[in-house]
Every structure is written in C-alpha cells, then in structure tokens.
Structure 1
Amino acid sequence: MTTWLNRVFCEDALQGFARIPDGSIDLLIADPPYGLGKDYGNDSDKLDAEAYLRWTEQWVDAALPKLKPNGSLYIFLTWRYSPEIFVMLKKRMTMVNEIIWDRRVPSMGGSTRKFSSVHDTIGFFVKAKDYHFDLDAVRIPYDAETKKARSRSIFVGAKWLEIGYNPKDVWSVSRLHREHRERADHPTQKPLEIVERMLKASCPPGGVVLDPFMGSGTTAVAAKRCGRNFVGFELNPDYCALIENRLAELDKPEPEAA
C-alpha cells in the first residue's frame, strides 16, 4: 500500500524524503525559500549566502534520487542565486530552459539606484534525453484574427495553427495580489496557471509530482485539478492547515446554476 501518495507531510523535507521510494517521482517542482529573509513563520529563509547555497545543494542531492530516470525538475529562484544554483544543477542534470516569469508588477516608484526587479527565474532540468514533455497539452490557442490572417492554402490543416503555439520561455502571468480570487494567506504563493503548465507538460496523466516546499499548496491543488498525484512537505503547521483547506474546497460540489 502506498501510504505517502497524495499527502502533504508537515515536516522538513530533508527528513521526509526517506518516506518516498527512489525512482518513483515523475516531476519535481521546487519553490524553496529564496534566501531573502522572508517570514514563513520560522527561520527557513534567514541563512547567509554561503549557508543558503550549501543547504540548496543538500536538499537537491536528497531529492534527485526520487526522480524516475526520465524525470524532470522545475525550480523557482531569484536572480541573486540562480547562476550558482544553475551551475550546481548542471553537474547533476541537463538544463532544458531558463524560464523568466514576468510577474506583471506595475511601475510604481521603486529603487533609484538600479532597475526594478519584476521577474522570477525558473530552471527546467531533466535527467535523460527521453524525458516526458507533452507540448500539445500546453499550447496557447491563436485568436480568431490570427487564424483568419493565415487563410492561404499553405496554412490549411496546419496542426500548429489549429491547436496553438508553443509557450515561449518568458511567461507573463500576474502575481497574486491581495484581491486575487486565488490568493491564500502566504507571502510567495505561485499562480495555478504556472504550476499547471509545468504539470501538463512534464508529468504524465496519473503520474506523481513532488514538491518539497509546499507553502500554500498550489502544487497539490494543481495536481488534483490536472489528474496527477502529489506528495510534499511543509514546515509551517499553519500552512499545512491552509493546504488541507484548499484541497477540501476542490471536493465541494459546484453550486447549481440559478
């Protein structure tokens, strides 16, 4: 019996990884603390640079054996540490993409001594050449005007025109502001749109996604919505309760139309 599947354990991932058999995970989505001193109800984001990079290498080396031979990793990072962490990961995996998440932050003042930082960096890494990647599941449909402009005979029946284009490596998705309907009580909650794109592309239906730093539980919610299994860890008991509430909301029946 698989007792760890579709569970979020309220514990440190470094201890919790032992619950998961090696070679059992299709996709690893990691949104670790960024080393910027944010308050997650504990001291997990208050390491100095050297200790932060050392800790990152520690959890990466504990997590990667859990991936299947054709498994993939997406990791959210800040520009401050992504160069060092990408170099470290390249020694262990093959880098496929550096994805820039444009958070659509409005231009309202900011620093006068540097350019405003409005993006997160996401690394996409794989273990082998035969990694799972379902492009058709994440294509972006063309609008009617674009389709009409491509009406010449050479475009008739073109698959790419009918089902959409490949998402680029710059993802323009609004951050979850306070009034956003998805927003939960977590300082760095990621949008479902981003995590669901990762899942649909890189985890087969019925596959398993591992999130070592569940936070508000977006990975678990996305997995459940997309027909994937999940497992993860979260240190803060308040966030663990938040995750359970978000998952329970998915089980409630849709209100009937009036």
Structure 2
Amino acid sequence: MNRVFCEDALAGLARIPDGSVDLILTDPPYNLGKDYGNASDQQTVEEYLCWTERWIDAALPKLKPNGSLYIFLTWRYSPEIFVMLKKRMTMMNEIIWDRRVPSMGGSVRSYSSVHDTVGFFVARKDYYFDLDAVRIPYDAETKKARSRSIFIGAKWLEVGYNPKDVWSVSRLHREHSERVDHPTQKPLEIIERMVKASCPPGGVVLDLFMGSGTTALAARRCGRHFVGFELNPDYCAIIDARLAAEDAAAVLAAAAVAEDDAAPAVKPARAKATKAAKTTKSATAKATKAAKATQAAKKPAAPKRSRVPKPPEEISI
C-alpha cells in the first residue's frame, strides 16, 4: 500500500489480493489522441473498448463486497462503457463535471463540450457512503431565511446539503498552484470529495491510471491508503515529488502547532521542516521541468523557414 508502481496496470493488478480495495477511483485515457508519452490514448474504437473491458474485468474482483467505483470518461465513449459496467455493478449516478470553460472559441458546427462524465457504481446495496463528510454548508442568508420554528434543530440545516450530480469546479489552469505537467490533471477538490464519501477512514483506494498522482495525494490528505499504477516514468517522478511535498507540509504544520503550544525546543524542528518543504518543492519543480524536457525531446523539430527580405515600401509624396 501507499505506493504507485511504474508499470502497466493489467500486469500489476495480478499482485493485488481480491476483495482488498474499498474504492476504485480512476481516470483512464479517453482515446482522444492525447500525448501521455505512449500510445495508450491513440487506439481504434474497437481496440479501446476491448482494452477497457479487459481492465474492468481485472480490476472489479479487487473490490470489497461493499466497495464502489468512480470512473472519469468523455461523452464520446461513456454510453458503451456504462453498459459494460451495468452488466457487472449497479449504477448510482452519472456525475457531470462542469469544467467552467470560458465562453469563447469552440466549434461552429456543434455545441462546445465543456464537461467530463463520471460514473458512480457500487457492488451491492450496503455499499459504504458517508454523506455527512461531503455535505455543502448553507450560507448565513439561507440559514436566516429558515428561522421559523419548524426548522429549529434540523440537522440538514446545520451540516449542509447533499451535493448534486453536477459539480461546477474549475479546471486547473497553467497558473494554478496545483498544476503540474500533465495534460488531463483533475482538481483535488473533486477527488477528495469522492474519497471522503466512498472510502472509509483507513480504507484503500485503487487508481489504475495515476497520471499526475492526484488520487494518491487526496488519499493521503484524507487519511486513507492508496495503491496505483502509471506507465510514464516522468509522471511517476512528479507523483513522488508531490507526495514528498505533502509529507513535508504535514511535518511543517505539526511543528507549527507544537511551537504554538509554547515549546521553545520545537523551533529547530520547525526550521528543519521548513527546509525540507523547500527541498521537496524544488524537487517537484525539477520533476515537472524534466517531464517537459522529455516531452519536448520526443517531438520532431519544426523545419526552419528561410527568411526572404521584404521589398522596400514605396513612398508616395
């Protein structure tokens, strides 16, 4: 547990015991031609659907009887893949992730696609689901409007409401603090909601296609264990750096709390933690830079254009 293996998921799944995973949370290639450093996103439709069915059949036995699965998909293939999963599990929700794409550009022959589709499936009726962990608090104005006696003491008013099946969370822009060098990185906010709701504290999350490692990071932040696979060694380096940075930040926070408790001897520990955090942050930056350099080296160089001098402009007097 708590390791991302740099290998093909179909090979690595054989080592995971059946019935040992609480949650499968995964974001497989969408088969839209993205460059992940390999050909995993560049298959024919038949090859892609056949490959998807292979990893689904290999992964589902790893779930506990009360386990769940979340899968990110594109609308182009979600109907076929949802049918595959419906033959094996019970579908609870189709979640729409609204990426908050700016209203500009797009096709002039169709409607602009601004969402990802997420399927939420369970193995049986007594599946684990902690709604209170992901409720959304009501604002002060709403609470004030519900001040009549019939609402006094209502639990739902205090703890918040059930998230709907449309999640409006901005995609990660290049300047975002979470962003690393991965073309389809998902926001922590979304992944943490899934982990908190569908994996018990201390449980195990499996991600077959780790990518930038957001599932691993979310599991660690939420007090869960993780295991996963990623083919691209550059992405594996980014994952290691992100996890190291998270660990250093946790040490720093613990040192700050201890110092606030008036323990002068803790100050040197905090200084060490701060130094460690800076080191891991630098490592993350280096890993991202190395990944970009690797991707750039794989692309063919553009042919040089010959420069033809422009004729002098005519001046009319």
1:102 counterpart (90, 98, 102)? 98
Q: Distance in 2 between matches of 1:87 and 1:251?
A: 40
Displacement of 1:254: 3.2
2:252 counterpart (248, 254, 257)? 254
Please list, as runs of the form range in 1=range in 2, the aligned pairs for 1:168-187 lying within 5 A after superposition: 168-187=164-183
Q: 2:118 is paired with a residue of what secondary structure? A: strand
Please list, as runs of the form range in 1=range in 2, the aligned pairs for 1:75-224 lying within 5 A after superposition: 75-224=71-220
1:14 counterpart (10, 13, 23)? 10
Q: Distance in 1 between matches of 2:120 and 2:106?
A: 30
**What whole-Å deviation, never above 9, does each CA across 1:211-235 have from its counterpart, x for those lacking one?**
0000000000000000000000000
After TM superposition, which residue ranges in structure 1, 4 or more long, deviate above 4 angstroms? none
Q: Distance in 1 between matches of 2:45 and 2:252?
A: 47
Give the letter for the 1:120 counterpart: D
Q: Does 1:33 align with 2:17?
A: no
| Bigger Rg over Cα | 2
Give the letter for the 1:91 counterpart: K
Unaligned 5+ residue runs, structure 2?
261-317
Give the letter for the 2:17 counterpart: P
Give the letter for the 2:118 counterpart: I
Give the alignment's Cα RMSD to 1 decimal.
Answer: 1.0
Which structure features the higher share of helix residues?
A: 2
2:300 paired residue number: none
Give the letter for the 1:78 counterpart: T
Displacement of 1:110: 1.0
Q: 2:70 is paired with a residue of what secondary structure? A: strand
2:49 counterpart (43, 48, 53)? 53
Count of aligned pairs: 253
Displacement of 1:142: 0.4
Q: Distance in 1 between matches of 2:113 and 2:241?
A: 33
Q: TM-score, normalised by structure 2?
A: 0.79
Q: TM-score, normalised by structure 1?
A: 0.97
**What whole-Å deviation, never above 9, does each CA across 1:48-75 have from its counterpart, x for those lacking one?**
1111000000000000000001110000
Q: 2:252 is paired with a residue of what secondary structure? A: coil
2:315 paired residue number: none
- Larger relative contact order (Cα-Cα within 8 Å, sequence gap ≥ 6): 1
Q: Does 1:73 align with 2:75?
A: no
Displacement of 1:109: 1.6
Displacement of 1:176: 0.3
Q: Distance in 2 between matches of 1:12 and 1:186?
A: 18
Displacement of 1:108: 1.1
Give the letter for the 2:237 counterpart: A
Unaligned 5+ residue runs, structure 1?
none
Q: 2:71 is paired with a residue of what secondary structure? A: strand
Please list, as runs of the form range in 1=range in 2, the aligned pairs for 1:218-257 lying within 5 A after superposition: 218-252=214-248, 253-254=251-252
Give the letter for the 2:71 counterpart: I
